[in-house]
Amino acid sequence: MIRDLTRRPIFAYARPVTVNGREERRRYGEYEIETVLGKGSIGKVFLARHRRINRRVALKVIDSEQRFEDDSDRDEFYLRLQREAELCGALQHPNIVTLYEVGYENDVVSYLATEYVAGESLQARLKRTRPLPLREALTLAADILRGIAYAHTHGIVHRDIKPANILITTDGRAKIADFGIARPQESSLTGINSLLGTPNYMSPEQVKSTPVSNRSDLFSAGVVMYEMLSGVRPFAAAELSGVLFNVVNLEPPLVSDVNPAVPVAVARIVARLMAKPPSDRYANAGEALSELEALPPAKTSGAPGYATIAVTPSGPESEATTPLPTIVDEQDADLAADNRKGSEEPATVRTGISRIFTRDVPAVVFWPLTLSLLVLFAVTVLFMQSRIRQQKPAAVITSQQAAVAQEKRNQLAAARAFVHAGRYDEAIRRYDAFLAQYPENMTAQDERNEAQALLDKSKRAGTQVTSTSKAHSRTPKKKPSRWERLKHWVRGQ
């Protein structure tokens, strides 16, 4: 166990500093606080600087007012912190956040000084862009698998791989953070009958509270890759119980069906990582990484808009590993070809076009006309601004309403993906579940009816359907007119 062998007071208290309207300690040990980086369930994370060696760190300070149900709960909490300190201290890898120092007070962990990653989390990156560009997603996926593979070779299972625990450096490299619920593979601490992790990214064995192996991290990594490549969470549901049920029972469509820009070869890797039985997944993260890096530098079927996958290095660790896939966009190649084709036009054509746009205009005509246009433009801008001020303010959409709207779009996208894949019965089941929550949604009703018609047509043609939808048809007795659809749409807003 890591201890301060000097046994000197670990908190050299200095004058307090006000952060967000509240006084905070300015110094913890040798670390001086600069600003707040975030707040978690067990305390705050500060940007701090070591006053002797001038190194900046992310200082995770444990809340001294943490409440516990009983002594055993408190002991379990501090054992997890001690385990995180011991595990992170043993891991030194470019794709894992480095632990520098552990602070103790009264013989329990009081803070962790870890590597400060100047960048953002994958969670923040996904909030800005969904899905991620293919090359970026594959680069980050390879980094994540490298970090997981290194941890597994040291006998450590992370058990909480998710976008919030993946940090992206300024040069685009991924680093795995927060080993707070990680454990050695042979440990009995927080083992069976305890549900630890984040529901949307948990493996089926975590949901069922059965023994967890390194393949549980592979399942979570597959879910993260699915979200990066498609922009949707494969097991999302309105309630926690629905998420847990989907993790154990739902087979999501291939990520290439949701986002056609993803090569089928990549989609198959993600699907194998997310296999329900652990035995059907890759044996280890290194095997999945090797298959990802071995993608051929040739035209990939099922990936419109992306022509080739070439091999290029990524990050300093790439010197000892196979380089990452690089995606070349067909649209850029087409644009370059068009530019070359344009340069081969006859000189007479180019001369005629340039002559039209370079014709001399007398100053006596040019300046009055230009000033008139400027005045007209200024008057128009002032008029529009006055009209905007007179209008009533638009309704403010809350974050909860935005989340509900995004969830609606995700559910409809998943249903459409099944229609696109020819699995009409599953699409109808998805539409029925959606309409049970939002019966007034005319778009979903129309798409559900179209899926039912395609299913009936495939049955008549003798096409074998994987399963039969048990939901009752929601076909309206009379198809609404365009005016009625507009009224329904206005009400929905």
Reported as a single tens digit per residue, the pLDDT across 332-349 is 334 334 444 444 444 433
pTM of model > 0.85: no
Catalytic (active-site) positions: 160
Q: How far apart are CA 431 and CA 444, in angstroms?
A: 7
Mean pLDDT over all residues of the chain?
A: 76
Q: Tell me: the pLDDT tens digits for 121-145?
A: 999 999 999 999 999 999 999 999 9
Contact 431, 425 (CB under 8 A): no
CATH 1.10.510.10 domain locations along the chain: 119-332
The hierarchical CATH code for the domain 119-332 is 1.10.510.10
pLDDT at 188 over 70: no
Q: Tell me: the pLDDT tens digits for 446-485?
A: 888 988 888 888 888 775 444 444 444 454 556 667 667 7
The hierarchical CATH code for the domain 17-115 is 3.30.200.20
CATH 3.30.200.20 domain locations along the chain: 17-115
Q: Tell me: the pLDDT tens digits for 26-62?
A: 888 899 999 998 876 677 899 999 999 999 999 988 8
Q: Identity (one letter) of the amino acid at 421? A: A
